[in-house]
Structure 1
Amino acid sequence: MNNAMVKYIIGGILRIEAVLMIIPLIVSFIYREDSLYQLSFLIPILFLTATGYLLSRSKIEERQIYAKEGFVIVSLSWVLLSFFGAFPFVISGDIPSLIDAFFETTSGFTTTGSSVIQNVEALSHSMLFWRSFTQLVGGMGVLVFALAIMPQIGSESVHIMKAEVSGPVFGKLVSKLSSSARILYLIYLSMTAIMVVLLLFGGMNLFESLLHAFGAAGTSGFGIRNGSIEPYDSAYIETVLSVGMILFGVNFNIYYLILVRHVKEAFSSEELRWYFMIIGSAFLLICLNLFSTYHSFGRMFRDVFFSVSSVITTTGFLTVDFGHWPLFSRVILLLLMFVGASAGSTAGGLKISRVILLLKSAFAEFKRIRHPNRIVAVQYDNKTVDRDILRRVLNYLLVYLVIFISLILIVSLDFSDFETAFGTVVATFNNIGLGFSTLGLTGDFSELSGWLKVLLSFVMIAGRLEIFPMIILFSPSTWKK
């Protein structure tokens, strides 16, 4: 383990978090909040700056890092960012409990959207901004942002990006990794800015537009009103957010290909076709199921389209309590929660590319059973998929299922019914944020015990980083010399 490089990079990450906290500090001045709120950000800023500086002063004899260091750097960074990011909430008193604040901040950075705050409208503007801003930063990835502005880390930082970017396969956009990171963030921030402008046209003020755009861009869904998006009751706002969530659920490599005018290659993506096919099929099936329950077809189309967009991208914004919909519709939405959106997007879930590969692999196995002497290759995007990639996808699914079942068993110690325990794991491990049964659809996790909130905080990070970085972090062999 190259401890010196690990400390050096984490030190840089902590200093970046200090810089990010300056923005909500400015918000607190703009809204002329009590001096306590300025101190709530100033104290962590000074602490993070000093700690980051001390860690980055480590003497580095060897700059090379490998996959193990990449996993440790990413997972440890997310834990520390979430922990220190909780300090403003605690110091200000808006979330007095450190455990609750850690849960809330982790939920933001991991773009989960689960919350322990029962009355979100009681938060100050600066705390609302910081809470939502964590979604924007975590959406594309904290380490991707770091690589975009810290190119001095070196070419070996590919191991860091591999550990943080979602999906079964990682690919650079251009030969230089720091340039790839900058391109991703420029696309990401440009799309967010466009959404802010569109929401302004819908009647939201600048503050509301920014925070809702952050939620849609990060596919997290932290609302700034107690009823999420429902209180706005605007077809225009719902349409902008629905389309926005879907677009942020697309692999960002597609947008890069469009920018460099490789449009045909971009739209030939098999994952992209499946993504829109799944959205369209879910929308149609749920509409047919709800046909007799709605008095207005327009209202039904609005609610179904928004709900499908929010759920498949694991955002969690709400305009209607679909917990009261027929079981058939709820099962479809539950399946979407597991599938998630595209690899290389800001969404959670298993990712559509993995689902495609799993289905094709199973189909190929049936063919081999029927024709033992036949060589059957799995094709994806008109290319033969390497067996090593298929093996990794199958291994990921196995590990996912084992951990998922184990978490249900552990969580069941704190609940009396299966639906709530199951929903809690789905909400946090898949980074969807929506609760079930006694938690309510809005996902109010405030009544959970302290130990469970801590556990679920780490579960959210594990889900966002797709499990293995967290396993590596807590593996004793990782720290052996």
Structure 2
Amino acid sequence: MNYSIIIYILGWIMNVEAVCMLVPGITALIYREKSGIAFLITILACLAIGVPLVSRKPSKKAFYAREGLVTTALSWIVLSIVGAVPFVLSGAIPDPIDAFFEIVSGFTTTGSSILSDPTQMPYCINIWRCFSHWIGGMGVLVFILTLLPLAGGYHMNLMKAESPGPSVGKLLPKVQSTAKILYKIYIALTVALIILLVLGGMPLYDSLCAAFGTAGTGGFGIKPDSMGSYSLYIQIVITIFMILFGVNFNVYFLLLTRKFSQALKSEEVRCYFFVIIASALMITFNVRHLFDNVWEALQQAFFQVGSIITTTGYATTDFNQWPAVSRTILVLLTFCGACAGSTGGGIKISRLLLLAKSVRKELHLYLHPNAVKKIKMDGKAVSHEVMRATNIYMIVYLMIMAASIFIISFDEFDLVTNFTAVVTTLNNVGPGLSLIGPTGNFGIFSPLSKLVLSFDMLAGRLELFPILILFLRETWKKF
């Protein structure tokens, strides 16, 4: 284990987070809020620790898969602990466990909150909550990759550990160049969304918070009704951009480089849009009697479907009151998730496609035992390693989900609340059903349950294994 390079990167994490806290710090100055002092203290503390750590260059820059997994997990834990400090120091969220839960929900782009009324929070606190979505959406380590020189091809070990999806590839020969392209696309889409929201009459502060949450597919609202009180235009714009941020960013790169045939070839993206359209139409038919006309039902259905499948978690209505069929569809979409290589969470469309193809292959082998049939995605054969990793992921996913539901059941809430609380945090979605629906919050859970759900959010965002590997004794041995 190369401890020196891990400490070096953690130092970078502290420094980058200090810079990011300038956003709420400046907000506090604009609105003349005393809570800004909490951010100033945290910034100084981060720099006091981070600067000495990065000034001492590691003797070895070799960075293998083990270091990549450990560094990613520790980086997100450090990021969350430090990010929670201003909540506690300012008194906005005085309980450390509540503060940790809230910021983990922010960085992992989950959007589950312990707050009943966000309007009671200072402006600087709310924008930090929303900005944490934007930071975590693309990944803080992906950003650091654009700055940090590592030897050889070791960047990929960091990128694979943090990026969502069953496989990560390079858009260009250099991983640093790939990271820069991804962030340029991310920033461009975010800026476009902010402009459209402002043009639609949304206040600049609200536009920034909404854009950060939409881009990171996070979903922290700054109003008790999330997006319900905004205009139809605002809701439609956010619907479109939620769905766009759920698309694999590789597709945008292919479109920008005019490789249209390759972009359109993506089975995952085609399936993603098919699931959205089919789900929205089924829900529209099921809830049409609850609205004034079918067009309003269609708009509400598309917003909720787009919000849940991309794991954004915004809401424009209390879908907890919808018929059972519609609620069931939304719960299934919670598992489904967005595309690999997007800012969305969940199991991912690509994994579900691979699992479906695997089942089809097994059924074919029952009929033709001697047949040789390869699983293909986008016309290319899928390696055995990818299929094995997908199968193991699903096994571990189900084990974590079952264990988490069991632990939080000691809080004595109903099964729907417990089940959807775990599902929505493990898949980084946000709202659940029953007591934690769009009008509820996670403040009802005990400290132990909040820690379990915080673990689920981190595990879900990091694709399970980077967090789990921290608990293996062999991980910390020097070889």
The answer to whether structure 1 residue 21 and structure 2 residue 21 are counterparts is yes
Structure 1 window deviating more from structure 2 (106-115 vs 294-303): it is 294-303
In structure 1, the residue matched to 2:316 is 319
Among residues 115, 129, 141, which one is paired with 1:131 in the alignment? 129
After TM superposition, the structure 1 = structure 2 runs for residues 313-392 of structure 1, keeping only pairs within 5 Å, are 313-392=310-389
Q: Deviations over 1:252-307 (max 9, x none)?
A: 00001111111121111111100111011101111122234433112111111101
Structure 1 window deviating more from structure 2 (348-357 vs 389-398): it is 389-398
In structure 1, the residue matched to 2:178 is 180
Q: Deviations over 1:294-323 (max 9, x none)?
A: 331121111111011101101110001111
For the residues of structure 1 that align with 2:275 and 2:413, how far apart are their CA atoms? Answer: 34
Structure 2: gaps of 5 or more residues: none
After TM superposition, the structure 1 = structure 2 runs for residues 423-442 of structure 1, keeping only pairs within 5 Å, are 423-442=420-439
The answer to whether structure 1 residue 3 and structure 2 residue 6 are counterparts is no
The answer to whether structure 1 residue 462 and structure 2 residue 454 are counterparts is no
* C-alpha deviation, 1:201, in angstroms: 1.4
In structure 2, the residue matched to 1:95 is 93
In structure 1, the residue matched to 2:65 is 67
* C-alpha deviation, 1:58, in angstroms: 4.5
For the residues of structure 2 that align with 1:7 and 1:157, how far apart are their CA atoms? Answer: 16
For the residues of structure 2 that align with 1:258 and 1:191, how far apart are their CA atoms? Answer: 14
For the residues of structure 1 that align with 2:407 and 2:33, how far apart are their CA atoms? Answer: 42
* C-alpha deviation, 1:54, in angstroms: 2.9
In structure 1, the residue matched to 2:251 is 254
What SS does the aligned partner of 2:142 have?
Answer: helix
- Give the partner amino acid of 2:99: A
- Equivalent residue pairs, number: 478
Q: Runs of 4+ in structure 1 displaced over 4 angstroms? A: none
* C-alpha deviation, 1:476, in angstroms: 2.0
Contact 1:168-1:389 within 8 A present in 2 as well: yes
Among residues 233, 237, 261, which one is paired with 2:234 in the alignment? 237
Contact 1:107-1:457 within 8 A present in 2 as well: yes
Q: How many percent of aligned residue pairs carry the same amino acid?
A: 48
* C-alpha deviation, 1:23, in angstroms: 1.8
Contact 2:88-2:95 within 8 A present in 1 as well: yes
Contact 1:433-1:443 within 8 A present in 2 as well: no
In structure 1, the residue matched to 2:222 is 224
* C-alpha deviation, 1:453, in angstroms: 1.4
For the residues of structure 1 that align with 2:193 and 2:185, how far apart are their CA atoms? Answer: 12
Among residues 119, 122, 129, which one is paired with 1:121 in the alignment? 119
* C-alpha deviation, 1:248, in angstroms: 0.1
In structure 2, the residue matched to 1:269 is 266
The answer to whether structure 1 residue 282 and structure 2 residue 276 are counterparts is no
For the residues of structure 2 that align with 1:460 and 1:416, how far apart are their CA atoms? Answer: 20
In structure 2, the residue matched to 1:46 is 44
Q: Deviations over 1:202-241 (max 9, x none)?
A: 1111111111011110001101111100012x21111100
Contact 2:146-2:180 within 8 A present in 1 as well: yes
For the residues of structure 1 that align with 2:292 and 2:122, how far apart are their CA atoms? Answer: 39
* C-alpha deviation, 1:104, in angstroms: 0.6
For the residues of structure 2 that align with 1:116 and 1:469, how far apart are their CA atoms? Answer: 26
Structure 1 window deviating more from structure 2 (244-253 vs 380-389): it is 380-389
The answer to whether structure 1 residue 304 and structure 2 residue 301 are counterparts is yes
What SS does the aligned partner of 1:342 have?
Answer: coil
The alignment's TM-score, normalised by the length of structure 1, stands at: 0.97
What SS does the aligned partner of 2:442 have?
Answer: coil
Structure 1 window deviating more from structure 2 (376-385 vs 217-226): it is 376-385
For the residues of structure 2 that align with 1:341 and 1:412, how far apart are their CA atoms? Answer: 29
Superposed CA RMSD: 1.3
What SS does the aligned partner of 2:449 have?
Answer: helix
For the residues of structure 1 that align with 2:472 and 2:225, how far apart are their CA atoms? Answer: 41
Structure 1: gaps of 5 or more residues: none
Contact 2:106-2:129 within 8 A present in 1 as well: yes
* C-alpha deviation, 1:435, in angstroms: 2.5
What SS does the aligned partner of 1:220 have?
Answer: coil
* C-alpha deviation, 1:442, in angstroms: 4.0
* C-alpha deviation, 1:149, in angstroms: 2.3
- Give the partner amino acid of 2:147: I
- Give the partner amino acid of 2:19: V
For the residues of structure 2 that align with 1:138 and 1:285, how far apart are their CA atoms? Answer: 32
For the residues of structure 2 that align with 1:59 and 1:151, how far apart are their CA atoms? Answer: 11
For the residues of structure 2 that align with 1:209 and 1:411, how far apart are their CA atoms? Answer: 36
For the residues of structure 2 that align with 1:154 and 1:459, how far apart are their CA atoms? Answer: 33
For the residues of structure 2 that align with 1:191 and 1:333, how far apart are their CA atoms? Answer: 26
- Give the partner amino acid of 1:433: G
